[in-house]
Chains A and B, each alone.
Chain A
Amino acid sequence: MTPQIIFISISAVAGLIIIALITGIILETQFRKKLKKALDRPEAMDAFRESWPPSKLVKHSLRMERLAKIWGKSVISDTGIAPLWADKMETRPTKRALKRVLYHSPKVFVCRAFLTGLKNKRLTPVLTTWINETGPEQALRQISQSCRGEAFDGTEAHKLISPLLADNLDPIIEFTGASEWYTRYFAYKVLLHDQDKRSKRAAWDGFFDTHPLIRNTLAIEFSSDERNKLYTQLWELLLEDPSFEVRKSSKMRILQDFADLHTPSEKKLTGTPALRFLQLLEDGSPDEINIAMEFLSSTDLELRFPAASFLERNGILEKLLLTSTMEDRVVLERNLSMLKMALEVNVSSFLKKIGSNSTPGALLTAAKLLNQGGDRKMLAPLAEAIFSFFEKEKPGPEYIEIYTTLLSGIKKRGNDAALQQMFNEIKSRRNQEPFLELLLPAIPTRGDSLFIPLLIDFLKTDEFPSRETLITTLVKMPAELILPNIFEILDGNRADYSHTIRISCLRLLGRLKLPYCLQCILEYLPILPREEALEFAEILNEYPREEFEKKAAALFKTTDGQIRAALIRVLPPIENRTFIKEIRNALKDADPDVRIAAIEALLSFGEIRLLNQETSMLRDPVERVRLATARVIGEYGVPAALTVLEDILKDENETRPVIKAAIAGLGASATPESLNLLIGMLDQDLPYTQEIIAALSERQSKKDLMQLIENFRGGSPALKDHLIEVFKTQEKNAEPALLKLLEEQDDSLKAYIAEILHGTGYIGKTIRKLSHREIKIRKQAAIWLSSLESTASYRGLVLAARDPDQEIRVLVVKALERLNNPEGSEILEALKNDPDRRIRKYTLWAMERLKALALE
């Protein structure tokens, strides 16, 4: 390398350096110019910030620091670099960073610098130097005024400040009277840890500070030798402070440090203090659970709400729900009433605990609750649980209440999911009448679109068991959704739908009460059998009478005998005598059905004058006309009519069906004469005995029973046997009446009633009740058997002397003592020879006892 080249190179480098220096000087001059301009004229600051944003300036912190020394702190505050310095100090705490904030930043950042210096021990000397340089009082005032309630370690702060103030914290105590809360907050944070009496007194006053953060800080951090006083103060904060944060801190402090003094159950809380206490109950504390249980039944809903929420959070409501049992109704009702209280304040999440493994008691409680309120969504899972319970367990009748309560809840409040559950249940129970009788009435009208297709399917099913309930359910549904289906069936081919289905449809159509369907209804009337036609008449009565008569008059003129017969049948029940002339003429109608309908109608209208004409109809060439006539005359029951029937019964040439009809007619009559006539025939042992027994078994009024028993008393053995058959046929219907007679009548009929009841098997049934598991039933049976005083009843009664219940045993002994008379001896003698050794044993025991009682 030649010297020339070296010289050129050096010159070039020097030149470049000079250029760079010149450029730097120019740029620095321009920057300073711009900054100065911006500092002098605030409107120019925005333009400066655009080219020199704080994020860019922060990279020139040294330069800014120098300029701040020249032009003052406004260089830092106005350019917006100060917050970035403070942030940088907190993220990367260095002595320089801390100094920048303390010495060059605005005062508002002093507190942040203080906290950084407090946290980082190696920076603390910088902080103390600054405090000392500024003057401790002045510096602390700046710190307290720049503080905004930041959390910091009060102990460390106290350790730092106390020596700086030569252990005299009077200036800090003075801060507690500052108007700004943050200054007071800073002061209390420091004073809390000072043991000087004045500081302590100042700290006590802090409990009454207007700012919640200060009261909260004191509740958490203040400590004192006066434990009782501090506990009382915290208890007051807990009950009286309007700030939830302060109350919460007070409660936590009490639980943490004053558990030994804390006895809330001994304090009678009411009103707002009670509410505040209830809002902060301690989870899992048995004492506080008890308090909450008390408030659960409060009439003040504001107090009940936090109590219920707490109990729910602690699983108590869930426990009340799940421990309810059907076996203990008292507990169930008590739990239910408590849970209802919770429900009234919309606390109901505990119901989510119901599942398929819940007990019947829990299911019933949940169903009752959801009937009343709670989240409607829960009805669906409850329905699933209950339906599954009834599917798996095949529960007894005592559980039906669970089922019906659920259905009532779904009807009232069920959402789509619950209705879907119900829909599935109905579908699966389509052949089970007892369930259908409960399910169908529970279908709500709002579920029309979901349920109607299924209900129509049921309507079209011949074997559907709950037809009547189905019709009642469909009537409640919107007619526009049902009518097309009804007419599809009625107008359809007879082979497609059975007679039963068509009858159901007509009844449904009638009950819909649509005046514009009246003509169709009347034309389809022949579908209905006689008995149903009479019932249907009531429905027709609710249609406009004028319209009905107009249409009926037109139909009477048609050739269709079936329609005329059907029309005639419905007239008497609705007491419409407009067509009496037409009915009279119908007695001579060519159609036998019209003639039968006419006879029935006329007698129902009380047309006695026609009796002769009707009796002549007993000779009608068509047997079923003769049959119907006989039955109608019997039902009508005037003496003249009965004489006619008696003549028929005596007529050896009369056909058997007519005689049977006459007997049935006498059975249907309500007069004593007809009864005597039948009993008389029974005594003659005629070939129609079974028909007479059947007819007599229909006579179950008290008067009739008396008459039957009277005849039994004086009757021949054969008649007695027949009458026993009558009572047996009457079965359960006659028994209550016989028992009532037993209570009301004198002893004259007792033996006969006992004999009858023995014959019907009632006594045997009652004796079996003596081994029933329920005391009540056994006792009732023993009372009844003892009142009967017959050998048959005592045969069972003596065995009841071994009943585990003393009351029943006493009853038996008393009953046996009543046998201490000649009639009783007969019973005892009979029982003494009973084939059953146990009966003989108890009888002997009773006899010895009676013998002793009779000895003087």
Chain B
Amino acid sequence: MTEKTESILSHDEILKTLTEAKPLLFDKGCHENSLAALVEKAIEITHSDLAAYYQINRISVRKTNLCLIYKKFRRPLPEILPGEGELVSFILDCRETVLKLSSNEDSDEKLFSEILLHPSMKSGVAIPIISETAEGVSYVTGILYVNSKTNNFYNRSRFLLLENLSKLAMGFIKRCDNEDSPKNVPLKEGVVV
């Protein structure tokens, strides 16, 4: 699987990789373990250099911030990210995965530079994790960040793998949220690779 992510994976191969990830996510048993598995799996299937899950906390009607729940990176990452940035507001707005393939300093291309969580990172992906209230209203519960030190690292296969992995995770989180409010999830220490 590791080698295959280097080149384009076929549809069946993507499916197989995700099928392997599914039990890991679902068998973890509780919300925070599952998020940890999501981060671990994101690193594993894409061979990225950094992955972290930030949960969105709504402080007030207009103010939100992002709180680090789990990371896989040897160096420290900010525990709180501001919720007013271009990236977060974009994700809250359209709920779509955002990519940043290179860290050019070109004016408009600086856009979404918050995806890169560490100065050493060159490319990255931010994937919204969506959950649903008991009334069936969907909302963005957190963002999965995946970064690489290489420019243009996220190709078709990695992008599709991450998108599908997040969909699997969403299914689980939705189920977990019904039993356990995400606001009660305690901050967990990051695992250093």
Among A801, A802, A844, A855, contact of B111 (Cβ-Cβ < 8 Å): A844
Q: Digit string of B78-101 for contact with A (CB within 8 Å is 1, else 0)?
A: 000000001000100111111111
Contact with A along B1-42 (1 / 0, CB 8 A): 000000110000000000000000000000000000000000
Q: 30 A–B contact pairs at CB < 8 A? A: A801-B94, A802-B93, A802-B94, A803-B94, A809-B94, A809-B95, A809-B96, A832-B108, A840-B108, A840-B111, A841-B90, A842-B94, A844-B109, A845-B90, A845-B96, A845-B98, A845-B99, A848-B101, A848-B112, A849-B97, A851-B152, A852-B99, A852-B101, A852-B158, A853-B159, A855-B101, A855-B152, A856-B7, A856-B155, A856-B156
**Chain B residues near A809 (CB-CB < 8 A):** 94-96
* Cβ contacts under 8 Å, B95 to chain A: 806, 809
Distance from A39 Cβ to chain B, minimum over Cβ atoms (Å) = 98
Question: Are A849 and B108 within 8 A (Cβ)?
Answer: no
For A803, give the chain B residue with the smallest CB separation.
B94
Task: Please give the distance in Å from B13's CB to the nearest CB on chain A.
Answer: 14
Query: Which A residues are in CB contact (< 8 Å) with B152?
Result: 851, 855
Q: Which 10 A-B pairs have the closest CB atoms?
A: A855-B155, A802-B94, A848-B99, A802-B93, A852-B159, A801-B94, A853-B156, A856-B8, A852-B154, A852-B99
State whether the Cβ of A813 lies closer than 8 Å to any Cβ in chain B.
yes
Within the complex, the shortest CB–CB distance from A782 to chain B, in Å, comes to 13
**Can you add 8 more A-B contacts, CB < 8 Å, to A852-B99, A853-B156?**
A802-B94, A840-B111, A845-B98, A845-B112, A848-B99, A852-B101, A852-B155, A856-B155
Contacts of A848 in B (CB 8 A): 98-101, 112
Whose C-beta in chain B lies nearest to the C-beta of A854?
Answer: B156
Q: How far is the CB of B139 from chain A (nearest CB, A)?
A: 11
In Å, the complex CA distance between A813 and B163 comes to: 13
In the bound complex, residues from chain A placing their C-beta under 8 Å from that of B101 are 848, 851-852, 855
CB contacts under 8 Å to B, within A828-856, are 832, 840-842, 844-845, 848-849, 851-856
Within 8 Å CB of B8, what residues of A? 856
Contacts of A842 in B (CB 8 A): 94
Of A840, A852, A855, the most chain B CB neighbours within 10 A belong to A852
Tally of B interface residues using CB under 8 Å? 23
Contacts of B93 in A (CB 8 A): 802
B115 nearest CB neighbor, chain A only = A848
**How far is B90's CA from A189's CA once the two chains are assembled, in angstroms?**
89
B-side residues, CB < 8 A to A, are: 7-8, 86, 90, 93-101, 108-109, 111-112, 152, 154-156, 158-159
Chain B min CB distance to A810 (Å): 10
Residue numbers in A under 8 Å from B98 (CB-CB):
845, 848
Q: Which of A806, A809, A851, A854 has the most CB atoms of chain B within a 10 A radius of its CB?
A: A851
Which residues in chain A, 607-663, are within 8 Å of chain B measured between CB atoms? none
Complex Cα distance, B172 from A854, in Å, reads: 30
Note all chain A residues with C-beta closer than 8 A to B108: 832, 840, 844
Whether B96 contacts A801 by the Cβ 8 Å rule is: yes
- On whether the beta carbons of A849 and B99 are closer than 8 Å, the reply is yes
Q: Which residues of the partner chain A approach B109 to less than 8 Å between Cβ atoms?
A: 844
B112 touching A844 by the CB < 8 A rule? yes
Q: Are B111 and A841 in contact (CB under 8 A)?
A: yes
Nearest CB of chain A from residue B147's CB, rounded to whole Å: 14
> Which residues of A have CB within 8 Å of B112?
844-845, 848
Chain B residue at minimum C-beta to C-beta distance from A842: B94
Please give, as numbers and ranges, the residues of chain A lying within 8 Å of B97 by CB-CB distance.
849
Residues A776-802 near B (CB distance < 8 A): 801-802
In the complex, A330 Cα to B72 Cα: how many Å?
A: 52
B156 touches A855 (CB 8 A): yes
- Write out the residue numbers on chain A whose beta carbons fall within 8 Å of the beta carbon of B86: 841
Please report the C-alpha to C-alpha distance between residue A813 and residue B112 in the assembled complex, in whole angstroms: 18
Q: A832-B108, A856-B7 are in contact. Are A813 and B154 (CB under 8 A)?
A: no
Name B138's closest neighbour in chain A (CB-CB).
Answer: A806
Determine the residue in chain B with the shortest Cβ distance to A799: B94
Contact A813 B96 (CB under 8 A): yes
Q: Looking at A801, A840, A841, which has the most chain B CB atoms within 10 Å of its CB? A: A841
Cα distance, A150 to B59, chains bound together (Å): 82
Q: How far is the CA of A841 from the CA of B99 in the complex (A)?
A: 12
In the assembled complex, the CB of A856 is this many whole angstroms from the nearest CB of chain B, namely 5
Report the minimum CB–CB distance from A800 to chain B (whole Å): 9
Q: How far is the CB of A806 from chain B (nearest CB, A)?
A: 8
Task: List B contacts of A851 (CB < 8 A).
Answer: 99, 101, 152
Q: Which residue of A lies closest to B156 (CB)?
A: A853
Chain A, residue nearest B7 (CB): A856
B66 → chain A, closest Cβ, in Å? 19
Residues of A within 8 A of B96 (CB): 801, 809, 813, 845
Chain B nearest CB, measured from A844 CB (Å): 5
Q: How far is the CB of B141 from chain A (nearest CB, A)?
A: 16
**A678–B91 CA distance with the chains assembled, in angstroms:** 54
Query: Chain B residues with Cβ under 8 A from A803's Cβ?
Result: 94
Instruction: Provide the bound-state CA to CA distance between A783 and B48, in Å.
Output: 36
Most buried by B among A813, A840, A856: A856
The minimal Cβ–Cβ distance linking B151 to chain A, given in whole angstroms, is 11
